[in-house]
Amino acid sequence: MRASTKSAKPRLVGFNHVALEVGDIDEALAFYGRLFDFTLRGKSKAMAFIDLGDQFIALQRGRKQPADDGRHVGLVVEDKAAARAALKAAGVKIVPGPFLDFLDPWGNRIEIVGYDNIQFTKAPNVLRGMGLTRLNKNASAKKELADKGMAAD
């Protein structure tokens, strides 16, 4: 449902961050560091913040609930095949199914999605700031963007 711009309600425009509950911040940083190249934005005893360009993911100490099943966080990577290889090299079991999902040691279900296959885009200045010169979209993602009037110029 597309809300009118004249509505009294604010329009959702994106995510600032997602927080994942983990048992130990240092262990979580070590685990995710075996899988991904990332920049640490900040860290305390109870929290760590991993930069995702103009967004971030927070790791928060204190996981108490059972492992996730359907609930998950989708992380976008520049190279999904490299992510699959990193998971294998780290001995991380992939959740059976049509997607590249895994559970971290605290039961957070993570889905890995390739940048080429999603409809959001990073602005050129954000990509430059991330040290990425160009990431491409596949035909399906380009069509989704075009259908919404959001195709790149």
Query: pTM of the entire structure?
Result: 0.87
pLDDT (0 to 100) of residue 58 = 97
Residues 6+ apart with CB under 8 A from 148: 119
CA-to-CA distance for 116 and 90, rounded, in angstroms?
Answer: 24
Which whole number is the average pLDDT over 97-104? Answer: 96
Identify whether the C-beta of residue 112 lies closer than 8 Å to the C-beta of residue 78: no
Per-domain residue ranges of the chain? 17-62+71-147
Give the bridge partners for 77, in sequence order. 114
pLDDT at 87 over 60: yes
Task: State which CATH number among 3.40.50.10860, 3.10.20.30, 1.10.3720.10, 3.10.180.10 fits the domain covering 17-62+71-147.
Answer: 3.10.180.10
What's the pLDDT score for residue 2? 56
Alpha carbon distance 54, 126 (integer Å)? 7
Tens of pLDDT along 26-83? 999 999 999 999 999 999 999 999 999 899 999 999 999 999 999 999 999 999 999 9
